[in-house]
Structure 1
Amino acid sequence: MSCNLNGKELATYDVIIIGSGAGGGMAAYQLTKAGANVCLLEAGGYFDPAEPKYITQLKWPYESPRRGANTVRPFGDFDAAWGGWQIDGEPYSAQPGTEFHWFRSQMLGGRTNHWGRISLRFGPDDFRRYSLSGIGADWPIGYDEMKPYYDRVDKLIGVFGTNVGLPNEPDGFFLPPPKPRLHEMLITKAARSVGVPVFPSRLAVLTKPINEERGTCFYCAQCGRACSAYADFSSSSALVIPALKTGKLTLINNAMAREVLTDPQSGLCTGVSYVDKTSLQEKTVKGKIVILAASTCQSARLLLNSKSSQFQQGLANGSGVIGKYLNDSTGASMTGFVPALMNRKRYNEDGAQSCHIYTPWWLDNKKLDFPRGYHIEYGGGMRMPDYNFMSGIEAYNGRIADTSGKKKEAGGYGAGLKDDYLRYYGAFVSMAGRGEPVPLESNYCEIDPNRVDQYGIPTLRFHYKWSDYEIKQAKHMQETFDEIIHAMGGQRVSSAPGADRNYGLEAPGKIIHEAGTVRMGKDPKTSALNPFQQAHEVKNLFVVDAAAFPSQGDKNLTWTILATSMRTSDYIIDQLKKKTI
C-alpha cells in the first residue's frame, strides 16, 4: 500500500529512504520536518499499534490457540514481530563450518516494535577501542561529537533512568525510573555485596508525558506487542506516523528493494528499483538522494547487488569492505531459583517491559583475558503466566531445595502440580549478559552465487565464527551469574555450560544486534562511508542503520542508531541548502 496523508506521489523525490526502523524512521522524521519531500520504502506491511485491528495488548495468553507459544512467531503470537529467523521464499545460508542467524522484521517500524527498549549511549571509550587496546577499530567520530545528538534523542523520544556519573556510561536527560520490584531489590543487594554494581535501567518508555501525541506507561510489561498508548518507543508511532502528518512523506509498503540505481556517467544515485510484493511487479522510484536503513545485513545486500560498469564489486564498494566486519552482540544467560522468594503473596508485578535494573560494565579489561566488556540484564518476578510459565519444572526434580532446605520432586499432575506452581511462582530470576565482540574481517556476508529469493533477488551467504575473546567473555558471564545467585542464597537450575558449549555463548546473530557491514571511517581504502555516513564514492548515498558502525560497544545499538541518523539527517539538510548534493 502507499500512504501519504496530505501529499501526492512525485516523479522525483528529494530523498528516498529504504527501511522504516530506527535509522530510517529518524531520517524520515528529520527530513520531512525540514521540508524535504521523502519517499519511504518498507518491505513489510503498514502497522500502527494504536489502530484497533493491530492492538494485541492486554489479551490473555489463553486467547491464543497456542497459549502464547512461539510456534508461529519467534517472539509469541501476540508480539509485534512480523518476520522471523526464516521467511518463506526469502532464504539465506551459511558457509559450511560457520553459523549465523538472521532475524528480519517486515513491518512499518521494523524491529523497533518488539525490542527490549534498553536505551544506552555509547561512552567515550566505545568510540576509540583500537586506540585503547590495539584491537578492533576506532570510529571516525567521538563522544563529544555525538553527545548533542544523544541529548536531542533523549528529549525527543523519552527515556527513563538515573544519572550516576560513570565515565563510560554517559548520563542523559532521564524521566523517572520505575521502582525496583522485590526480586530486583534482592538482586541489587546480592550483586553489590560481591562487587557488581547495579543501577536503574535506561529504557525508552515514558513514565511521564513528553507531548500530547503519546501517553504514559501503564506497566503491563507488554512492550513487545508495541504500545497502543505510544508510551514506548517504536519508530512507527514516534517517528514515521508524525512524519506522515507533515504531508511530505510518501510511504510505500510491501516494497522489496532490489537495487539502488545510478547514472552511468556520474555514478550518482538516481533512484531505487523494488518489487511490489502484492503484484510481483518491478517498479522504480526516483530521487536526488538515497538513504539505506534496511538493517545491517539487508543494506549490505542491496549495495552488493547494485552492480554496474562503474561499481563492479557493488555500489560504493571500491574499498571491498562491504559485507565484512559483520558482528553481533555476545549473549549468555542463566536462570536461578531463590528460596527466599517462595510462597509469596501474589500481586501484579508486571512493571515496565522486562528489567527495572541493569549492570553496566564495571571491570578493567586490561586485567582480564578478554578485551571487551558486557552489561547484565535481569529478569524475574511474578510475570503474567503463559504457556511457558514454569515449563520444565520437572527437570529440576530433586535439585531444588525449598525454604526448609529439603529437596523434593517438583511438578507432577493435578493438585500437586498446582501446589508447586503456587509455591514456586515468582521464585526464579534470570540474568543475561550482552557483550561487545571484536569485529573481524573474516566474519562477513556475501552474495550467494547460486540462490535467489522468490522475487529473483540474489540472497546472502554468511561466514561467522566466534573468536576466543567472545568465548572467554561468556565464561566470565557465567561465573558472575553464579556468584550473584549464590549471594542471593539461590542455586542455578541447570548445570553450568562448559567449554564444550562455549560456556553458553549464543550462536552468532541470535541477539539481533548485528552491525558493521558498511563501516564508516576516514580512509576510503578501508571504509565505505565517511564520518557523516555518506559513501566515499557516491556523494548522494547514505547509510543510517548499524551497518555503518565500526564496532558496537557493550550497549544495545538503537539509541546510537537514532543519534547517528539524526546527525546524518542534519548534515543532509545542510548540504541540500548549500546545493552540494
Structure 2
Amino acid sequence: MRTMRLYIAGSTDNLRTIALKYKVRIEELISLNPHIIAPLSNIAGQQIKLPTLGGVLDKTTELPPCTLQLINPEACEQWIPLNSLDEMQHKEYDVLIVGTGAGGGAVLRRLIQQLADSGKRIGVIERGGLLIPTHAQNIETMNSRRVFDYYSSEAYYIDNYLSGQIYALGGRTLFWSTTSPRMTNSELLQWPVPLSEMNRYYALAEKALSVTPNFTKGAPLTQLLLDRLQRNGYPDATDEPLAVNLEPSNAFGVMNSNPVFSSVHFLAEALNRPYDLAIHARAVKVLTDQNRCVGVEVISPDKQTFRLKAKNVVLSASTFGSAQILLNSDIKGRAIGHYMTNHSRVLGLGQVNRNEFPEVLGPLRILVPGQIDRPYQIQIVGPGDYPWVQYAEQPLQEKWNFFLGTLGKVEARYDNYVSLDPVKRDEDGVPELNIHFSYSVRDEEVIRQMGEGVKKAAAAMNASLVSAEGPALCRLPIGSDIHEMGTCRMGEDPSTSATNHFGQIHGITGLYVADNSVIPTSGTANPTLTTVALAFRTADEIAKRLK
C-alpha cells in the first residue's frame, strides 16, 4: 500500500523549490497542502506533504512523444480528396464518370455499393471546381436574392437559350428546387423501361435523396390551401415531395447538417470505398477502338491534354455537355443531339388575405401533378421568400404573395436539336454548341392551357392573381425551366434514339450516358428524381457486366 510522504521545509524552501527538488508538479503540492497560503511564501520548519512515489516523475518510465501528422498545406482547398490528371492518366479505370451532377453522382454511389470490395477502379472527372460543399439552402447566409445572384454569376448561358449551366462539383444540384415527383404512369408506359422497373428504381432514388412529402405537413397555410384545391376540382393535389432529410440529428450521435440534398451527398457516401476524383478536368472527346470505348481525352485549365484510359465511360456532363462531347468525338448516331425537349413555363403571382389563416402560417409547398387531360404540372410555393428566409425577420403583413409555377409538356421532335458550330471554337478549342429549338403548335396550345390552369387553381384556393414588379401572369422565356432533356434519349431504335434502355450508346460497347439527356419524353414532372433512378439502373447494368 502506498503511504503519504512528509518533508520538513528548510529555511529557504517554498513550494516551488520543493517541487523542483522532488520533480513533482506544483499543483499537486498546493492541493496536498491547502494550509500554505502562497506557493512562494516562506515555510521554514513546516511539515509538507509530498505525493506518493507513484506520483513522482521517474525518467525511466517517461512516455514516448505522440506522433503528429504534418499539416497538408493544400488541405484548405480540398474538402474532398482530389487527384491530379497526371496521376489518373497512368491508370486504366474500369469505369470513368464524366460529370458530378445528379446523374454522375448517382452512378458513382451505386457502383461503389454494387462493386464493394471487388477491386474495380473507378475514376471521376469534373469540368468545374470546388464551388460550395453543399446545397446553397444549407448555407445560412443565403437568401432568395443572394442565391439567385450567386447562381447567375456562376452560370454559363448559351446564346439564344436562357438555361444556366453550372460547372462545379455537384453541378446544378447545388441550387435545384429539390422538387422530386415521379413521372406519371401514362408517360412512363411510352418508355423502353418496364413500368415495374421504373417504380423499383424510383423507390431507390427516393430513399437515396431522402424524398419526403412531410416538409409542409401540419403547416396551416399549406394544409388549408390544399384542402381548398382538393374540394374545388383538384383531388390529386398533394404536399410537394422534396429531397430534404427530415430525420432527427441525434440518432446514434449522427448530425444531419446538410438536410437539403445535393450530389455532394452522393460523393461523400462513395468515399466509403476508394475512387479517384479530378476537378477542372474537361472531357472533350470519347476515345474508341473498333466500336469499343477505351477512354476520354481531357483538357486542363492550362490547356494540357490528357488521355484517360477506361473500359467503360459514363457521360453525365448535362444534356448539352454530353451531346457536345459525343458530337465532337464523331460518334455516329442519327438521334445524337436531336429530340431535345424541356418544359414550357407560365408563372402566376397569387395573394391571400392574412386574416383567413391561423397566426402561424408555415411554408407553402403544394404540387398539382400533370395528367393525360392536364399536360402540365403546377407548383405552389411561398409565402413570399419563405423557403429562403433562414434567420431573416419577417414583417407582419395583411396579405401574403405566393407563386404558382407550371411545367408544361413539350413534344420530343427531331427538329429540336443541338449541333457543333462549323467555325466558332471556345477557349479550349472545342466547337461551340448551337441550339435549334422552338415550340410546336401543340406546345403553344399547352402554354395557353397553363395560363387558364393557373387562373383556375388560384380561384380554387380563393386567392387573387396580382401584379407586383411584373404582370400577375406571364410566360417565361425558353430555357428558364433549366430542365432540358432528350439529346441522348433512350430507346430501342437507333434511328430515333441515341442509347438503348440501359443508357448505352448504340453501337459503342462500354459508352453510357446518365443525365437528363437520356430522358426520352419530357412529361410534366421535374426531371432530377427520374435522372437518378435511371442512373442507378445504368450503374447496375455496368456492375453486372464487370462482375
Aligned mates of 2:271, 2:387 — CA distance in 1: 38
**1:200 corresponds to which residue?**
239
Relative to 1, partners in 2 of residues 1:158 and 1:274: Cα closer, same or farther, differing over 3 Å?
A: same
Deviations 1:401-443 (A, max 9, x none): xxxxxxxxxxxxxxxxxxxx95646521221111221111111
Aligned residue for 2:347, secondary structure, equals: strand
One-letter amino acid of the structure 1 residue matched with residue 459 of structure 2: H
Q: CA deviation at 1:482?
A: 1.8
Alignment of 1:166-565 (within 5 A): 176-197=214-235, 198-208=237-247, 215-216=255-256, 229-237=257-265, 239-247=266-274, 249-263=275-289, 266-277=290-301, 279-306=302-329, 314-315=330-331, 317-318=332-333, 320-341=334-355, 349=362, 351=363, 355-362=364-371, 364-365=372-373, 373-381=375-383, 383=385, 424=397, 427-494=400-467, 504-565=474-535
Compare relative contact order (CA 8 Å, sep 6+) and give the higher one, 1 or 2: 1
Asked if the contact 2:162/2:479 (under 8 Å) is kept, the reply is yes
Aligned mates of 2:312, 2:369 — CA distance in 1: 39
Relative to 1, partners in 2 of residues 1:232 and 1:252: Cα closer, same or farther, differing over 3 Å?
A: same
Aligned residue for 2:419, secondary structure, equals: strand
Deviations 1:324-348 (A, max 9, x none): 1111112111002223458986x68
Aligned mates of 1:386, 1:155 — CA distance in 2: 24
Deviations 1:526-553 (A, max 9, x none): 3221111111210110001121121122
One-letter amino acid of the structure 2 residue matched with residue 303 of structure 1: L
Is 2:130 the partner of 1:160? Answer: no
Asked if the contact 2:180/2:526 (under 8 Å) is kept, the reply is yes
One-letter amino acid of the structure 2 residue matched with residue 542 of structure 1: Y
Alignment of 1:113-124 (within 5 A): 113-124=174-185
Aligned mates of 1:423, 1:23 — CA distance in 2: 42
Deviations 1:465-515 (A, max 9, x none): 1122222222222222223333444422139x99xx9x8332221101111
Q: CA deviation at 1:520?
A: 1.4
Aligned mates of 2:455, 2:246 — CA distance in 1: 33
One-letter amino acid of the structure 1 residue matched with residue 246 of structure 2: T
Asked if the contact 2:354/2:400 (under 8 Å) is kept, the reply is yes
Pick which of 520-529 and 104-113 moved more. Answer: 520-529
**1:46 corresponds to which residue?**
130
Q: CA deviation at 1:215?
A: 4.7
Q: CA deviation at 1:69?
A: 4.2
Relative to 1, partners in 2 of residues 1:330 and 1:213: Cα closer, same or farther, differing over 3 Å?
A: farther
Aligned mates of 2:142, 2:126 — CA distance in 1: 31
Relative to 1, partners in 2 of residues 1:102 and 1:386: Cα closer, same or farther, differing over 3 Å?
A: closer
Q: CA deviation at 1:125?
A: 1.3
Asked if the contact 1:382/1:425 (under 8 Å) is kept, the reply is no
Aligned residue for 1:473, secondary structure, equals: helix
Deviations 1:183-229 (A, max 9, x none): 3234223323430232111111111259879755xxxxxxxxxxxx1
Q: Structure 1 length as normaliser, TM-score?
A: 0.71
Aligned mates of 1:143, 1:516 — CA distance in 2: 19
Asked if the contact 2:134/2:174 (under 8 Å) is kept, the reply is no
Q: CA deviation at 1:116?
A: 0.9
One-letter amino acid of the structure 1 residue matched with residue 187 of structure 2: D
From 530, 536, 542, give the equivalent of 1:566. Answer: 536
Aligned mates of 1:213, 1:331 — CA distance in 2: 44
Asked if the contact 2:349/2:401 (under 8 Å) is kept, the reply is yes
**1:58 corresponds to which residue?**
140
Unaligned runs of 5+ in 1: 62-67, 87-91, 94-98, 129-137, 162-175, 217-228, 307-313, 366-371, 388-420
**1:84 corresponds to which residue?**
155
Asked if the contact 1:180/1:357 (under 8 Å) is kept, the reply is no
Relative to 1, partners in 2 of residues 1:188 and 1:451: Cα closer, same or farther, differing over 3 Å?
A: same
Larger radius of gyration between Structure 1 and Structure 2 = 2
Asked if the contact 2:131/2:169 (under 8 Å) is kept, the reply is yes
Asked if the contact 1:244/1:250 (under 8 Å) is kept, the reply is no
Superposition RMSD in Å: 3.3
Aligned mates of 2:314, 2:285 — CA distance in 1: 12
Aligned residue for 1:140, secondary structure, equals: coil
Asked if the contact 1:517/1:547 (under 8 Å) is kept, the reply is yes
**2:188 corresponds to which residue?**
127
Aligned mates of 1:103, 1:213 — CA distance in 2: 39
Aligned residue for 2:268, secondary structure, equals: helix
Is 2:168 the partner of 1:107? Answer: yes
Aligned residue for 1:76, secondary structure, equals: helix
Aligned mates of 1:267, 1:24 — CA distance in 2: 23
Relative to 1, partners in 2 of residues 1:341 and 1:537: Cα closer, same or farther, differing over 3 Å?
A: farther
Aligned mates of 2:501, 2:545 — CA distance in 1: 14
Q: Percent identity?
A: 29
Aligned residue for 1:568, secondary structure, equals: helix
Deviations 1:243-276 (A, max 9, x none): 13412x111101121111122xx13222111111
Aligned mates of 2:355, 2:529 — CA distance in 1: 34
From 6, 17, 20, give the equivalent of 2:100. Answer: 20
Asked if the contact 1:85/1:101 (under 8 Å) is kept, the reply is no
Q: CA deviation at 1:24?
A: 0.5
One-letter amino acid of the structure 1 residue matched with residue 122 of structure 2: V
Relative to 1, partners in 2 of residues 1:212 and 1:324: Cα closer, same or farther, differing over 3 Å?
A: farther
Asked if the contact 2:491/2:500 (under 8 Å) is kept, the reply is yes
**1:400 corresponds to which residue?**
none
Aligned mates of 1:203, 1:83 — CA distance in 2: 25
Relative to 1, partners in 2 of residues 1:531 and 1:492: Cα closer, same or farther, differing over 3 Å?
A: same
Aligned residue for 1:330, secondary structure, equals: coil
Q: Structure 2 length as normaliser, TM-score?
A: 0.76
Unaligned runs of 5+ in 2: 1-76
Aligned mates of 2:260, 2:386 — CA distance in 1: 19
